[in-house]
């Protein structure tokens, strides 16, 4: 009898409680807060919705409800009601209350909204939010390790990284364009945003799947709207191809590079040496696939283009000058410059019409003149050629390009490194090409050049024509740190050397190439080039060129001359080696 009475009382209490929480806003809110605090999101969500409805019925305006909407949105997201959570968060963010929040608080709300949008399959909305974060991250979006983890820029970069797995799980590595609907113009805007985000994720191994999904969808959208021959479509192929290669999806990389090659062949003509970038990328994939014969045919085609465009004696010019003036000297943690090294021909870059990011009088806005001796020194020099390259790419890309950093002395490098440590984009003293006066860091719109910038594609295609090469390509170990890929850092080596690197050098191994340069020059002058699928004699002959010295040997200490650099780059090599 007691049991029956207890059950009756319990039932009566539950009925009374349910009535109370439906009609009493205070009771409903108390229940909502208790369930929310206990982590019971699924049970809390209905009470939160009830509180919201009762407050509206009581006459509360939408502005005063914004904090509740923001909190309830997070509860709905945790309860896996993603579309409802996103709807509530959008309403909260549109309020004056949200506009008055601190930047980080509002950004955290936007981050929650973007994650809910991904899970609700509203991917274009999430992409727009994270693309805005990417712009706010500025230079932090280019760094593997933050120079200041507490900075606002680092905060935005961390928010983007936090969505890596969500994008990877929501997008396939190929295709995906059909997931983004709307007018063609809107889809193209989304494709540009995905291109930038995909390039950001591609910088880290854990981001490859997110990068592949975003870039593949962007490529499909641009290809459908603009055609495979459009430069914007080709640009994504250049970013996505290496991602596929790193993932082991060689067939997908081959397809992309073939399409890019044929597109550029139509635009630039079948006899243009500008095709060399695409030929080299495609041949590299063939080599990885074990298709040495096809790779070799491509390499020979490229050499015929270079022979027709630049002549048979294109390797010998300025050889003595380059050796004496260190134009072709390797510099890295394996080839260290002494503290007393300083170039004697520094000039203000602005005097040669190079647009600069800082006061034109400071040392950092200076570069070596590095003038050719056999040509007009007013035009055949580093700053004049840099000005031409920047002008070309500014015209092609429609982006504002400026010199961010040129010469830095050993002392300046030491001071910067002591302040920042082993973080960010400053290398230890003696290991920086900036000390040579031959390096140029390039800004696009006031921040470091990114792979997703149209101007980067222009540099990749054309820099060798003006004597510049990319110093720190993906996956290099030239500098201490987790990752020293620097798409903004271009180094002058002179036109003949830059042409030879494109034509015969190992792909994305500029320091190894410079260390073994005499071998490459003399073999090329004799018509002997590396064969596809065979060991590179110039690299193999130098054992020490993998002077990527063993880990236990460690880098050469500052002040000690690099023995490998001396031996490899200043000694003659026999051209008859096989």
Q: Known catalytic residues?
A: 486
59 three-class SS? coil
Torsion region of 102: left, alpha or beta (phi above 0 gives left; psi -120 to 50 gives alpha): beta
Q: What is the 3-state secondary structure (H, E, C) of 320-345?
A: HHHHHHCCCCCCCCCCCCCCCCCCCC
Q: What is Dmax (Cα atoms) for the chain?
A: 113
Element (H, E) at 217: helix 208-226
Long-range contacts of 219-225 (CB under 8 A, 24+ apart): 219/177, 219/256, 220/175, 220/176, 220/177, 220/178, 221/177, 221/180, 221/187, 221/188, 221/190, 221/191, 222/188, 222/191, 224/177, 225/184, 225/187, 225/188, 225/191
Q: Smallest Cα–Cα separation from 110: which of 92, 96, 84, 122?
A: 92
Q: Smallest Cα–Cα separation from 329: which of 516, 546, 506, 550?
A: 516
In DSSP terms, 401 is beta-bridged to: 444
Residue 255, token pair as written in the block: 């397809």
Cα–Cα separations (whole angstroms), residue 63 to 55, 71, 87, 113, 546: 12, 14, 15, 19, 64
Q: Helix 250-268 vs helix 276-288: angle between axes, to the nearest 10 degrees?
A: 160
Q: Smallest Cα–Cα separation from 559: which of 429, 434, 433?
A: 429
If you ran DSSP here, which 8-state letter would residue 176 be given?
A: -
Q: Which residues contact 460 (CB under 8 A, 6 or more apart)?
A: 238, 277, 470
101 three-class SS? coil
* CA 87 – CA 435 distance, rounded (Å): 54
Strands 366-368 vs 346-348: parallel, antiparallel or unpaired:
antiparallel
551 three-class SS? coil
* CA 136 – CA 157 distance, rounded (Å): 8
């Amino acid at each position: 009898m007691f049991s029956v009475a207890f059950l009756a009382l319990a039932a009566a209490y539950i009925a009374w409680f349910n009535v109370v929480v439906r009609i009493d806003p205070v009771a409903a809110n108390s229940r909502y807060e208790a369930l929310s605090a206990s982590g019971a999101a699924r049970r809390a969500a209905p009470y939160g919705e009830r509180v919201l409805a009762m407050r509206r019925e009581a006459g509360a305006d939408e502005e005063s409800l914004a904090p509740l909407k923001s909190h309830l949105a997070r509860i709905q997201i945790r309860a896996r009601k993603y579309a409802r959570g996103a709807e509530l968060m959008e309403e909260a963010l549109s309020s004056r209350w949200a506009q008055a929040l601190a930047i980080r608080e509002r950004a955290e709300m936007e981050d929650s909204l973007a994650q809910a949008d991904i899970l609700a399959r509203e991917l274009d909305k999430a992409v727009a939010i994270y693309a805005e974060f990417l712009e706010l991250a500025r230079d932090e979006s280019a760094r593997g390790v933050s120079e200041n983890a507490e900075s606002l820029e680092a905060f935005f970069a961390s928010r983007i990284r936090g969505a890596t797995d969500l994008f990877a799980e929501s997008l396939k590595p190929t295709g995906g364009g059909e997931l983004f609907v709307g007018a063609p113009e809107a889809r193209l805007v989304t494709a540009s945003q995905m291109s930038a985000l995909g390039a950001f994720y591609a910088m880290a191994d854990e981001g490859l799947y997110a990068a592949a999904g975003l870039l593949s969808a962007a490529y499909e959208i641009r290809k459908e709207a603009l055609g495979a021959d459009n430069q914007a479509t080709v640009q994504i192929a250049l970013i996505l191809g290496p991602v596929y290669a790193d993932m082991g999806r060689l067939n997908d990389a081959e397809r992309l590079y073939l399409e890019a090659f044929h597109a550029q062949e139509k635009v630039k003509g079948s006899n243009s040496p500008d095709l060399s970038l695409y030929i080299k990328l495609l041949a590299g994939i063939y080599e990885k696939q074990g298709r040495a014969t096809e790779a070799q045919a491509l390499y020979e085609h490229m050499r015929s283009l270079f022979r027709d465009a630049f002549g048979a004696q294109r390797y010998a010019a300025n050889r003595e000058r380059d050796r004496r003036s260190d134009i072709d000297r390797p510099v890295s943690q394996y080839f260290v410059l002494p503290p007393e090294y300083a170039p004697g021909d520094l000039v203000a870059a602005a005097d040669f019409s190079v647009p600069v990011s800082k006061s034109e009088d400071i040392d950092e806005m200076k570069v070596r003149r590095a003038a050719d001796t056999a040509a007009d020194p007013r035009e055949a020099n580093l700053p004049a050629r840099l000005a031409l390259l920047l002008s070309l790419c500014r015209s092609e890309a429609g982006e504002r390009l400026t010199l961010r950093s040129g010469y830095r002395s050993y002392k300046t490098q030491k001071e910067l490194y002591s302040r920042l440590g082993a973080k960010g984009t400053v290398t230890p003293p003696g290991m920086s090409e900036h000390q040579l006066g031959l390096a140029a860091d390039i800004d696009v719109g006031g921040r470091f050049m990114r792979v997703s910038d149209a101007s980067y594609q222009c540099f990749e295609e054309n820099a060798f024509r003006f004597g510049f090469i990319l110093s720190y390509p993906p996956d290099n170990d030239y500098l201490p740190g987790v990752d020293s890929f620097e798409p903004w850092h271009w180094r002058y080596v002179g036109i003949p050397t830059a042409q030879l690197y494109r034509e015969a050098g190992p792909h994305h191994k500029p320091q190894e190439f410079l260390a073994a340069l005499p071998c490459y020059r003399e073999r090329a002058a004799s018509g002997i080039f590396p064969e596809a699928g065979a060991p590179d004699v110039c690299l193999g002959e130098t054992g020490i060129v993998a002077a990527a010295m063993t880990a236990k040997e460690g880098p050469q200490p500052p002040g000690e001359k690099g023995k490998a650099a001396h031996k490899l780059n200043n000694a003659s090599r026999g051209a008859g080696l096989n």
